[in-house]
Amino acid sequence: MQRTLEHSLKEVDSTIQSAVRHKLRVTLRASDFREQNQKGLDVLQEIRLKLVRRLSEDDANGSPIQDLNNYARTVAYRECANFLRAEYPLRTSLKNSLQRILENCDEFSCWEGPFGELTCGYPGWRNQSYATDARRVAELRTEPYSLPAEAIPARSAESMRMPEWRTLIGAVFQYVDGPVALDDLIAIVAPVVGMEDVPNADDGRDDDEETPELENVHSTAPSPYSTWLTTERLKIYWSAILKLLTWHRVAYLLNVRDGDLEALPLYGVATLEQIGDALEFGAQHFMSLARELSVQEPRGQAKGGRRFLFFWKHLPLEDNIIAVVLEVTRAQVISFRNKARERLKRMLKDAL
C-alpha cells in the first residue's frame, strides 16, 4: 500500500505545486527564504497531508478517487483560499465585497469552476467556451493602471459607490475579454482601491523548475503536535455543529465553501456518514434533493448518512436547492445559515 500511496502523491505533486505557485505568487524553491515563500511551502505540506489522509482512507475502504489529479487541484485551491483568508484581512474584505457586487448586479456573474475556483465575468461567458488571454490578465496584475482613466476610481474602496464599482469591474472584463478568476480580479483591483496587503510578485517563478521529491521536504512538514492540535480543534468545531438547531445545521452544512467540512473526514473527526446523519434527512428529503440535482440515485440505496454519500460530490449546494428540499424560502435558508454561523462563532469563541 505504501508504495502505491507514494506513487499517487508523486503523480499529482506537480499539479498542487502549480496551484500553490499561482494562487500565492511564490516560487516554492527551498532556496527562497522570503517569508511569503516559506508560508507557501507550509501550505503545500498541509495539502500533501490532506491528500495522504484521503488516499489512506480510500485504500482502507476500497473506494479510490476517480480523478485524483482534479481532486488534488481542488484541495490545493481550497487550502490556498483558507490561507489567504486568514493571512490577509484586507484581501478577504475586498473578496467579500466583490462577490456581493458580482452576485447582486445583473450585468455580472460569479460561478464556481470545475476545480472549485471562483470565476467571474459577464453572464453570457458562463455557459460558453470563452478562452481568456492569460497574457492580458498578467498585464493587469502587473500594471492595473493600464485600465482606462475613466475606470480608475477617485477614492478608496470605503467611499466607492456601486456605479464606480461597476465601471471598474466592467473595465477589467473588457480588457481581458473573457472570464477571470476571482483571485485575479482581486489582485488587479486591490491596488486601485487601496486594499492591497498581498505580495503580488514571485520573483521570477520558473514553472519548469524540477520539483523536490516528497522525501526531501521533511523540514517543512507539519509536526505531530500541529496535526494533533488541528484534530482537536476540528473535534470542538464538529461538536458545536451538532448543537445547532436541525434546519440551521442543514443550511450550514450543505453550503460550507471554505474546506472545513472536507477537513472533518480527512482528520478522522467525523465520517461522511456521520455528516449525513447530522442532516436528519428522511426519504422524502433525499428524493427531493435528487430531483433538484437531476441525478438518479443507485438502486437499493441505504438510509440516512449512508444515502448521503451519493450526494457528497454535489456539495456545496445553492440556496434555492436547499430551500426546495426543506420546503422553505431561499431567504429563510440564508437566515438559518446566518444564525448557525452566529451561534458557532459564539460557541467556538468560548471553547478555543
DSSP symbol at 300:
T
Residue 28 CB contacts under 8 Å (≥ 6 apart), including other chains: 17, 20, 21, 37, 40, 41, 44, 211
d(CA 228, CA 69): 27
Section 182-196 average pLDDT: 87
Residue 61 CB contacts under 8 Å (≥ 6 apart), including other chains: none
pLDDT at res. 268: 81
* Fold of domain 2-86: Rna Polymerase Sigma Factor; Chain: A (1.10.1740)
pLDDT at res. 302: 65
Residue with cell 460530490: 313
pLDDT higher for 151 or 301? 151
Instruction: Indicate the pLDDT class of residue 50, thresholds 50, 70 and 90.
Output: confident
Question: What are 169's three cell numbers?
Answer: 469591474
pLDDT in tens, 284-329: 999 999 999 998 877 665 677 888 888 888 888 999 999 999 999 9
Q: Is 181 helix (H, G, I), strand (E, B) or coil?
A: strand
Name the residue ranges covered by the structural domains of the chain: 2-86, 91-193, 224-351
Enumerate the H helices of the chain as residue ranges. 2-24, 35-61, 68-87, 89-104, 123-126, 134-142, 162-176, 182-193, 224-242, 246-253, 260-266, 272-279, 283-293, 304-308, 319-326, 330-351
